[in-house]
Amino acid sequence: MIALVDPHPATISLRAGAPASCVGAERCELVARARGGDGAALAALWESHRRWVAVVLIAHKPAEVDLEDLMQEVAAALVAHLSDLRDERGFRGWLRIVAVNVARAAARSLSLRRTERLPVGGDEPCTPPRCESGPIGEAERLLELAAGLPCEYAEPLLLKSLRAMTCRQIATMLELPETTVETRITRGRRMLRERAAAAAARAAPLRSAGQEGPEPAPLGSAQTRLQSPAGPRAAALA
């Protein structure tokens, strides 16, 4: 496994609350130092970016693929290919593309494995849905529903909800107009509410029949519940 440990975090980490121009300059300096072989700078880059990288992976990866495995792949690609980056100012966009490509490669690999093990004359047996209750189970279910949205809606919604990024920051990262990002987040939230309502409706017959199942939670604000660090995947973003 790749272990990017920052031995001097207080001296090289990006300053919280600093003006965007200062943060951008500091990031470029870190990238330049990391490209020159400075391990501490490389560790600081990964530490300051790994949480939103995890969000991008969640938005693009299949649900069955382990997030931590993909994070290790992105970290390995960062170590191996950072020297290929020509302009330090494009680091965030470059790292996002690396994460998206890692997630898509995992999806292709999973699809191939499914095809190879598919029995002749029938589909794979269905796996019963998990029945978890309580705040952790609800947070995990909402995260899975959000991650199951089309990527163009899941990514900006998760970046805003889990990482509290502004629409302008997301627009810069995705190279989209800010109004497009706002529209996609609004539509993504609406789609998430619809999927949560449909999931609750499907669970209702199970509860009526006396089978164990999660109690329906009020829809309310999907953003608020998505900010919860509960659940295995959300814990990777904490």
* Sequence-ordered list of residues with C-beta below 8 angstroms from that of 145, at least 6 positions apart, any chain: 192, 195, 196, 199
Q: What is the mean pLDDT of the chain?
A: 76
**62-103 tens-digit pLDDT:** 888 999 999 999 999 999 999 888 888 899 999 999 999 999
Q: What is the mean pLDDT of residues 1-23?
A: 43
pLDDT of residue 20: 53
pLDDT of residue 187: 95
Report the C-alpha gap between 45 and 14 in whole angstroms.
9
**171-196 tens-digit pLDDT:** 998 989 999 999 999 999 999 999 88
Report the C-alpha gap between 1 and 24 in whole angstroms.
29
pTM of model > 0.75: no
Q: Beta strands of 135-218 (E only): which ranges?
A: none
Report the C-alpha gap between 148 and 63 in whole angstroms.
8
- Written as six digits, the tokens of 41 are 């700078």
Q: Which of 36, 23, 235 is nearest to 136 (CA)?
A: 235
**96-112 tens-digit pLDDT:** 999 999 999 999 988 88
Name the least confident of 41-50, 105-114, 179-188, 201-210.
Answer: 201-210
Q: Residue 157 to residues 10, 13, 86, 95, 124: CA-CA distances in angstroms?
A: 31, 27, 30, 19, 32
